[in-house]
Structure 1
Amino acid sequence: MNRRTLLGAVGTLGAAGLAGCLDDDSESLFQNPFSGRGLATPVPVELTNEGDNHYNVHLEAYDPEAQRETYDGAYTVVPNERVSAPHLDGIDQQLRVTRFGGDHGDDLVEQASITRDTQYVRIRIFDDDIEVEAPEGEGTAPDDDLPEAEEADDANDSQSAE
């Protein structure tokens, strides 16, 4: 057996031996989107300050299965400002939104569950409250003409009743 054949066989056996390690589904630090669980689509995040004061907002997400933090961001949002934050990974995780009140009131905390079906996250900041919207299902980013779609559904319901 010559050297080239021997090195080729050793390389092939080594790669085949490690192939099972790469597909291990145990508590890995990295989520492999190609491991048969589907692609983890990005989830857009939007913050809107509808209050009269500026606020510091902290966003953090935690993957309880892997026991690791998946997202961490801090933003200062002035009144009537809309901020597009970096996207979240579309995996099962918990999102915590903290609005620091500072001189303008108490700190507020809201939580939301993010899954692979979450379409977007919209965070609305008020002087006395935080609203976190994270809808699931098919569709695209939020539409401002949602009431028109509901009216069309009502019209279809009335036609089907006749």
Structure 2
Amino acid sequence: MFAPKPISARRTSVFQLTQLPSDSPFRDPIDPGNRLRTAFNLGRFRGSFEYDDSVGRNDPDFFRFQLTDNSTVAVWWANSSSTPMIGAIVNRYGQVVRQQGFPLSRRILPGRTASFFANDIQPGVYYVRITSAGRDNDYSFRLGAL
């Protein structure tokens, strides 16, 4: 069993696992994939996931996760590079998910962070997509679901 610990991140709450669930698909090293079809699969997701990597103009990162119940999802990104990035929750067709009319997407300016907290996300399969207009943009990202 795991016990999430709150971590504050600019007007949102993110959670860090102290132990991975037994059905966790994590392997080392993690390759997030650069298409929906090759996304790193987080499986049935509860708790949190943290990752640091880089993306380029033609090399986005995708992480797949499944919600089995209505869930609250928190996402936080940090852009350590000199060009903007875009972080989003997308559906299986690559379309940005909308909640109450608002897209679950953020532009992350160079040297800045961006986040959102979305309540009552419906069960289903979702993807975190991280893209950049530049080359080799370093980023950090956290995903939490309760």
TM-score category (smaller protein): 0.3 to 0.5
Decide which structure has the larger Cα Rg and report it: 1
Which TM-score applies when normalising by structure 1?
0.31
